Amino acid sequence: MRTILTHDRWLRFVAKPVLFSACLVPFVLLVKGALDADLGANPLERVTDVTGQWGLRFLLLTLAVTPLRRLTGWNRLLRFRRMLGLFVFFYISLHFLTWVWLDQELNWGNITADIAKRPYVTVGFTAWLLLLSLAVTSTRGMMRRLGRNWQRLHRAVYAIGVLGVLHYIWLVKADLLQPLIYAGVLALLLLVRWRPRLFHGVMSLGRPINVR
């Protein structure tokens, strides 16, 4: 039998598994750290920080797919977008679970009170709810069923980005450098979409884009 490594097979059997494994690295390191009791002086803070930061990073990576596609003209990049998006959901769910379970110790009274009265929690929780709705509608079947509404719904990813960065800015005590770096990257990625002309020289390198 002849094996042809077509682009499609390459994507499915090589590129995607490699990317999938790479995306799991931060999680594997956390689990290893937890098993070795090697998560520093304040393990809860470490887990919360690592899962939140990686959630934000994967979110920015997801948002970078379309601009990168325009830049490189490599349309197949789009095939990785769903996986990246689901990893945002994965890490932010871990982040949320860490808070609910380890930080709040499943005290539902406190949890709901915090969501209601502390703006950075409200914003973070809202972002997670939106992520949840995108995750459950991420299948092909849901795409088909929702039709044009699917795209409308999935534009919520921009709101999630803004809420996520806001959540980070609001929880910092004094040093805004880190969250502002995320804010800057997010702003750039949004500008590329909404004001593409600003980037005309760079973006015209790629092939014409078919909207999806």
Partner 1 sequence: MLIKKPADIRPSEITDPADYAGRRAFLKTAAALGIGMVAGPAAALVKVPGRGTPMSGLVDTPYGDDLEPTGYEHVTGYNNFYEFGTGKEDPAHNAHTLKTRPWNIVVDGECEAPGEIGIEDILKAFPQEERIYRLRCVEAWAMVVPWVGFPLGDLLTRFKPTSKANYVTFETLVDEQQMPGQRRAVLDWPYREGLRMDEAMHPLTILATGLYGELLPNQNGAPLRLVVPWKYGFKSIKSIVRISFSRTLPETTWWKRAPHEYGFYANVNPEVDHPRWSQARHRLIGEGLFSSKHRTLMFNGYADQVADLYRGMDLAKFY
Give the residues lining the site for partner 1 (CB under 8 A).
34, 37, 39-45, 47, 102, 105, 110, 114, 118, 120, 170-171, 173-175, 177
> Closest approach of Cβ 127 to partner 1, in Å?
17
Minimum CB distance to partner 1 smaller for 1 or for 35 = 35
Minimum CB distance to partner 1 smaller for 142 or for 176 = 176
Most distant CA pair in the chain, distance: 64
Give the C-alpha separation, 71 to 90, whole Å.
Answer: 28
Q: In angstroms, what CA-CA distances link 132 with 100, 135, 160, 195?
A: 16, 5, 11, 29
Minimum CB distance to partner 1 smaller for 21 or for 42 = 42
* Residues 82/76, Cβ–Cβ less than 8 Å: no
H or E element that contains 135: helix 119-136
> Closest approach of Cβ 22 to partner 1, in Å?
25
> Closest approach of Cβ 42 to partner 1, in Å?
6
Give the phi and the psi of residue 42 in degrees, each rounded to 5: -130, 80
> Closest approach of Cβ 110 to partner 1, in Å?
7
- Residue 37 amino acid letter: A
Minimum CB distance to partner 1 smaller for 31 or for 202 = 31
> Closest approach of Cβ 186 to partner 1, in Å?
21
Give the phi and the psi of residue 191 in degrees, each rounded to 5: -65, -40
Neighbour-count burial of 99, counting CB atoms closer than 10 A to its CB (0-12 exposed, 13-18 middle, 19+ buried): buried
> Closest approach of Cβ 119 to partner 1, in Å?
8
* Residues 67/193, Cβ–Cβ less than 8 Å: yes
Minimum CB distance to partner 1 smaller for 39 or for 183 = 39
Minimum CB distance to partner 1 smaller for 56 or for 86 = 56
